Amino acid sequence: MVCVRYRPRQPRASPIWQILHDHAADVPGLSPEAAGAIAAFLDCGDLQAGFTRLHCPDCGHEFLLAFTCKQRGLCASCHQRRTLIEGAFIADEICAPVPHRHLVLTIPRLIRHTFKFDRALLGELHLAAHSAITAWLRQRTGQADLSACDAQEGGQPGLVVAVQTFGDFLFWHPHVHVLAAAGVFAPNGDFHLAPPVGWQDLAELWRHTVLRRLRDAGALADWQIAKLQNWRHSGFSVDAGEAPLAADDAAGRRRLAEYLLRAPFSLEKITYNAEAGSVLYRSERHWRTKRNFEVFSAPQFIAALLDQMPPKGVPQVRYYGWYSNKSRGLRQRTAGAAAGKTHAPPARPRRRRTAWRDLIQQVWGADPLKCPLCSGLLQPIAVVEARAEIAAILAPLGLARPHERPVALSPPRPEVAALIDAATGACHVLDPPDFPPGLPYPQPRDEPIRFRAEVMEPGESFDQTGFELPLPPQVVPADAGQGELFGDDYAQPDSADGEPVFWSASGGQASPDDDFVQADAAESL
């Protein structure tokens, strides 16, 4: 039997930590909320900011457990903890054992920045998705007319709605993800399955509902709405995947819930060049730029990252219809009355939270409270927060140090050696030559440079980066992998806006997007 030992993460080795530590002061117009979030993130997992002392009563061994920042969006570790907890709550306690679909609703590029300048309008996307899907499901199941879509009587959908604002390369791309029951619930609890047709009708409902809500909110004028309505291709789309999740696929619902709650970035896709002050972000090949990477300056990357942070106190997901807090509370009260309980029902207990120890075991397969010396159980004995006490404990251990860059950087990506100019054969490490970073899309030069990927193979000659030097350019076909920094073993379909698609399938089959969640889980907690 292999014994897996828990090792705490090294927050300073994260490329996000290094980027923020080196260049946060270079971002102009940083708000106090953003500055506070960055400061809290830089202290996350740092013993200098406080810790809990754990003691083994059997052998006397002690372990110091650092505090965390508990933030969404910016900290991959703390965000992943929230994702695992909330995903389990949605799949196990919110969703009923009925078929579910994953719906992705998008809006045209012309109006996306309207939501960037007024973040309160993102709530209108939640409500528009609820209204459009409710009307469409009721009409498809025959439970109500379209005119009664906002009424309480009739069939109720079960909707978990999340608005995400990020695209593949942290571009501003607000869109809606919905984990929806594939039908409606009657007042007596019976479930009516909707036929899997008529997605274009739902797209039209989504289009008109969004425009109506934006007009009522004063965000769009009548002439702008008339222009959008006259477009041949509206830019409003609905993607429902290939098939719904089976009623008994609880694991699939949990994966979908975690996908709705995922962080806006993946640590596996980021490479930070400290000397050049640039960030290389890799993803799937973008339909517009024809590349599967993007180059940012560090301040631009920080600004794009901060744009994706959800406002403090604003819920990331909302529940509607049969899954709303009101509906679940009424069903609980009715169930208590049916059981003969005449007294008022007790206050609803707080949401069940998964312990930190259980989350570590779920991700790493190791028990963090197991003593590495005697296999006893570590017990908390003190919480250390005072600066003087922190220094008195860390100094004898040799752990008292300022915020410096760790010696060991994030692990290199063995699949990428360098960027190669397909025309001249020149080799460039990480950053394309004369290719200035820019948002949202860098402008190409008059003679665009084409790049291809070189894959590492064991060999004898290596350059100063530790990677093997590529083959001479004349050996490699000129059309091999142009515009790609790395190769994929599979081609995942994209929508017109490059929106990642989660292809749900009955029976709990895995999706390519699961790698995104699992990769972040491995870097977190």
**Residue scoring higher pLDDT (259 or 437):** 259
Handedness of CA 197, 203, 205, 209 (dihedral sign): positive
The top-scoring range by mean pLDDT among 220-234, 417-431, 462-476 is 220-234
What is the side-by-side order of every strand in the sheet holding 270-273? Answer: 270-273, 278-282, 293-297
On the question of pLDDT at 248 being above 70, the answer is yes
What is the CB neighbour count within 10 angstroms for residue 136? 23
On the question of pLDDT at 476 being above 90, the answer is no
8-state DSSP, 506: T
Same domain, yes or no: 29 and 137: no
Give the integer Cα–Cα distance in Å for 251 and 270: 29
Amino acid identity, position 333: R
Could you give the percent of the chain with pLDDT greater than 90? 46
Q: CA-CA-CA-CA torsion for 107, 109, 114, 115, nearest 10 degrees?
A: 50
Residue 496: inside a domain:
no
What is the side-by-side order of every strand in the sheet holding 158-166? Answer: 237-239, 100-106, 172-181, 158-166, 317-321
On the question of pLDDT at 20 being above 70, the answer is yes
Strands of 311-375 (E only): list them: 317-321
pLDDT at residue 354, rounded to an integer: 65
Residue 289: inside a domain:
no
Residue 156: inside a domain:
yes
pLDDT at residue 426, rounded to an integer: 61
pLDDT at residue 338, rounded to an integer: 67
Reported confidence tier of residue 316, pLDDT bands at 50, 70, 90 = confident
On the question of pLDDT at 206 being above 50, the answer is yes
8-state DSSP, 339: T
Could you give the percent of the chain with pLDDT greater than 70? 70
Strands of 247-368 (E only): list them: 270-273, 278-282, 293-297, 317-321
Same domain, yes or no: 40 and 108: no
Same domain, yes or no: 46 and 122: no
On the question of pLDDT at 466 being above 90, the answer is no
What is the CB neighbour count within 10 angstroms for residue 134? 26
Same domain, yes or no: 134 and 34: no
The top-scoring range by mean pLDDT among 1-15, 225-239, 482-496 is 225-239
Residue 56: inside a domain:
yes
On the question of pLDDT at 234 being above 90, the answer is no
Same domain, yes or no: 258 and 127: yes
Give the integer Cα–Cα distance in Å for 75 and 286: 26
The number of domains in the chain is: 2
pLDDT at residue 233, rounded to an integer: 85
Pairing state between β 172-181 and 183-185: unpaired
Q: CA-CA-CA-CA torsion for 353, 358, 359, 361, nearest 10 degrees?
A: -170
Residue ending a domain, choose from 397, 432, 465? 397
Same domain, yes or no: 38 and 106: no
Same domain, yes or no: 225 and 328: yes
Instruction: Supply the range of the domain harboring residue 392.
Output: 11-69+354-397
pLDDT digits (tens, 9 = 90+) for 326-356: 999 988 888 766 665 544 444 444 555 667 7
Residue 206: inside a domain:
yes
- Residue identified by tokens 């006893």 is 376
Decide: 108 and 174 in contact? Cβ < 8 Å: no
